[in-house]
Amino acid sequence: MKQDQSIHEPKQKRSALTREKIVDTSRELFCKKGYYQVSTNEIARAANISIGNLYFYFPNKETIFLEILDRYHQSFLKIHEGFLRDAENSSKDLKHFLRGLMEMIIENHENSRELNREIQILSLSDPAVAALLEKQQEQTEVTVFRYFEKYRDQLQVQDLEAAAAITFSLINSVVDQIAFSKNKINRKRLLTETVNAVEIYLLGK
């Protein structure tokens, strides 16, 4: 058994490295050129492997992209869970929570700007990509809802679930505008007024 293990471990390690190389190379090409402008042959050449070797790990380009999306989604969830954990253990007020949430999402978008662009494009035609995007949106709504539950007694709204959905829609719209558009109004002003608007809606101030 020990002899077999010593034989298989290097192969498993090489296999994992090759898979990582394919995924990393594909993400770089997708972000640089766009998903539809990249072929599996181009990925294989850029990764310095044979096309047969690529197909050993991934049957087509879509499965590579879905692997990239799954990893992106897992990192997204990790960020949200950490933010929510910190928020639930913090005594900071609603304004701090909302501003922190928006800045966290903006940073996440900006760190993966090109990938987010491809996700948005593909979500219009690919159900699997659309489903992943929907999961991310649901996760943000859950983050907002759980925080609202913690401060239920301070809020003037009656339907917390609906309020979380409305708040998310507003936040998401402004976040996308800040992260992906050219704005005449600077980020700080947009964030401040969005937080003020949500505070008035939730607290009646």
Lowest mean pLDDT among 82-86, 128-132, 196-200: 82-86
What are 119-168's pLDDT values in tens digits? 888 888 989 888 888 887 888 888 888 888 888 888 899 899 999 899 98
Mean pLDDT for 6-26 is 79
pLDDT at 100 over 90: no
Find out whether 126 and 173 touch, Cβ atoms under 8 Å.
no
State the pLDDT at residue 193. 93
Across the range 86-96, mean pLDDT stands at 75
Are 120 and 167 contacting, i.e. CB atoms less than 8 angstroms apart?
Answer: no
Percentage with pLDDT > 90 across the chain: 33
User: In the structure, what pLDDT confidence band is assigned to residue 21 with cuts at 50, 70 and 90?
Assistant: very high
Confidence of residue 73 (pLDDT cuts 50, 70, 90): confident
Of 1 and 189, which is predicted with more confidence?
189
Instruction: Please state, in angstroms and rounded to a whole number, the distance separating the CA atoms of residues 171 and 36.
Output: 30
Q: Which residue has the higher pLDDT, 142 or 201?
A: 201
What's residue 64's pLDDT? 94
CA nearest neighbour of 173 among 158, 156, 155, 193: 193
Helices 61-88 & 40-47 angle (0-180, nearest 10) = 70
- Domains parsed from the chain with CATH numbers: 10-59 (1.10.10.60), 65-203 (1.10.357.10)
**How much is the pTM?**
0.71
pLDDT band, residue 111 (cuts 50/70/90) = confident
pLDDT (0 to 100) of residue 166: 92
pLDDT of residue 82: 80
Residue 76 has pLDDT above 90, yes or no: no
SS3 200: helix
Mean pLDDT of the chain: 85
Distance, CA of 98 to CA of 139 (rounded, Å): 15
pLDDT at 41 > cutoff 50: yes
pLDDT of residue 7 exceeding 60, the answer is no
